[in-house]
């Protein structure tokens, strides 16, 4: 299984420089997502763009596999990467701004994908849970009778990557995946959550 972390966005909404490197309790946000994938048992490939040169340097220094995509948009970067690697199997894809994600929730998503027996899976969180953390929720749909927002983790088939894929929509009522850092309020919430998890103090407390 190929695992991708998308980390090529400019982070203009947060306005704190390269978003993957925003500090949370002494570590860049990207580090938490990489660690979660490694504990899950998959060495992730971080997808970068020309907008994230310092993140590329961080990946080099920390021996994190990475790929520089040129398409200029989220889905285009995925297609370019998967096609370039000639990947035909399922691809587990995460945004870089989910610092509270962990191996347990990745396993839950993967198990749901295997059980669904469909080419693709998308994850969703209740809109009110995401907004409780100060996250922006510009896209919402009804999932399992609940007003929900995309959570930023998906599974797609590599051999169908350029096509629309039939998907299972998984509603996850869990703050670990609801905390998508895209505002200062959501960053403060991430700092508080991770500080409690580590039994420490950091900015945002």
The pTM score is: 0.92
- How long a stretch of residues is the chain? 205
Q: Residue 186 belongs to a domain with what CATH number?
A: 3.90.550.10
Check: CB of residue 203 under 8 Å from CB of residue 159.
no
Mean pLDDT for 22-31 is 95
Instruction: For the chain, give the percent of residues with pLDDT over 90.
Output: 71
**CA 42 – CA 34 distance, rounded (Å):** 9
Any domain includes 203: no
**CA 66 – CA 60 distance, rounded (Å):** 8
For residue 131, is it left (φ>0), alpha (ψ between -120 and 50) or beta? alpha
Structural domains of the chain, count: 1
**CA 189 – CA 183 distance, rounded (Å):** 10
Any domain includes 112: yes
Q: Which domain holds residue 70?
A: 2-198
Name which of 201, 104, 202, 112 is nearest 155 in CA terms: 112
pLDDT at 176 (0 to 100): 87
Tell whether the model's pLDDT for residue 161 goes beyond 60.
yes
pLDDT at 25 (0 to 100): 93
Name which of 143, 154, 146 is nearest 119 in CA terms: 154
């Amino acid at each position: 299984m190929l695992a991708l972390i998308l980390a090529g966005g400019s982070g203009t909404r947060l306005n704190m420089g390269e978003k993957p490197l925003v500090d949370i309790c002494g570590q860049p946000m990207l580090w938490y997502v990489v660690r979660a994938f490694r504990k899950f048992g998959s060495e992730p490939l971080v997808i970068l763009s020309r907008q994230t040169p310092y993140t590329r340097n961080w990946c080099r220094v920390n021996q994190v596999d990475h790929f520089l995509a040129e398409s200029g948009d989220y889905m285009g970067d995925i297609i370019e990467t998967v096609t370039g690697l000639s990947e035909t199997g399922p691809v587990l894809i995460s945004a870089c701004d989910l610092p509270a994600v962990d191996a347990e929730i990745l396993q839950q998503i993967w198990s749901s994908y295997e059980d669904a027996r469909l080419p693709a899976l998308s994850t969703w969180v209740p809109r009110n849970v995401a907004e409780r953390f100060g996250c922006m929720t510009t896209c919402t749909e009804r999932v399992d009778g609940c007003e929900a927002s995309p959570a930023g983790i998906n599974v797609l088939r590599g051999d169908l990557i350029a096509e629309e894929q039939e998907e299972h929509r998984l509603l996850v009522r869990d703050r670990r995946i609801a905390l998508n850092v895209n505002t200062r309020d959501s960053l403060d919430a991430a700092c508080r959550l991770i500080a409690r998890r580590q039994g420490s103090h950091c900015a945002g407390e």
